[in-house]
Amino acid sequence: MKNPCRYMVNILKISYWKVRYGKKLSIGMIQTFERVRIELIGKAKVRVGNYTQNREKLYIGVSNGTLTIGNHCFFNINSSVTCMEKIDIGDYCKFGNNLVIVDHDHNFRTSTPEFISKPIVIGKNVWVGANVTILRGTEIGDNCVIGAGSVVKGKIDANSIYFSKQNTIMRNVCN
């Protein structure tokens, strides 16, 4: 068990967020957060289950989208979750250092719309290694392992191990 003072500090922090964001934020009172930054813009909605933890520097940014984080999730140092449409993270997920989860891209072909988004679904009991980026439109099934350094886009079936091949150069991807 963590230091009881840490829990008290987190209860105060969570109480402040609940007052600041009102109905936009639903979060269990028992968390172990260290250096969390939350930004909720527009019609954003965030639900965080109980017993979520992070080591340091967790950024949660939601702009008009819906973010759901299940119970007993863990985010290691320097994690960023940015949502414009929808991101669902199941229970008992663990994320390594330098994680990026983003459900949108800049639309580089035209200026309207500025962003292109597609929901992300991460199942239950998923383990994600360090330096992983999870992109828009990704579906990761239950009980998966995502190898360190991977860039994930697309569907990963349940009970799979996934890793990106390193040092691969993609050519003509804009055609």
Residue 168 lies in a domain: no
**CATH number of the structural domain spanning residue 32:** 2.160.10.10
Residue 170 lies in a domain: no
Q: Copy the structure tokens of residue 132.
A: 């992983």
Query: In this predicted model, what pLDDT tens digit does every residue of 5-26 receive, in sequence order?
Result: 777 888 888 889 999 999 999 9
109 or 166, greater pLDDT = 109
Range of the domain at 96: 4-162
The confidence band for 164, taking pLDDT boundaries of 50, 70 and 90, is confident
Residue 76 lies in a domain: yes
Residue 172 lies in a domain: no
Residue 13 lies in a domain: yes
Eight-state DSSP code of residue 169: P
Residue 67 lies in a domain: yes
Residue 174: the pLDDT is 40
The confidence band for 133, taking pLDDT boundaries of 50, 70 and 90, is very high
Q: Is the pLDDT of residue 167 over 80?
A: no
Split into its structural domains, the chain has a count of 1
Residue 2: the pLDDT is 59
Residue 171: the pLDDT is 40
The amino acid sitting at 44 is A
The confidence band for 175, taking pLDDT boundaries of 50, 70 and 90, is very low
Radius of gyration of the chain (CA): 17
Measured distance CA(21)–CA(41) in Å, rounded: 10
Measured distance CA(169)–CA(83) in Å, rounded: 28
Measured distance CA(71)–CA(124) in Å, rounded: 10
Q: Is the pLDDT of residue 29 over 70?
A: yes
3-state secondary structure at position 80: strand
Instruction: Give percent of the chain above pLDDT 90.
Output: 70
Instruction: Give percent of the chain above pLDDT 70.
Output: 92
Q: Is the pLDDT of residue 170 over 50?
A: no
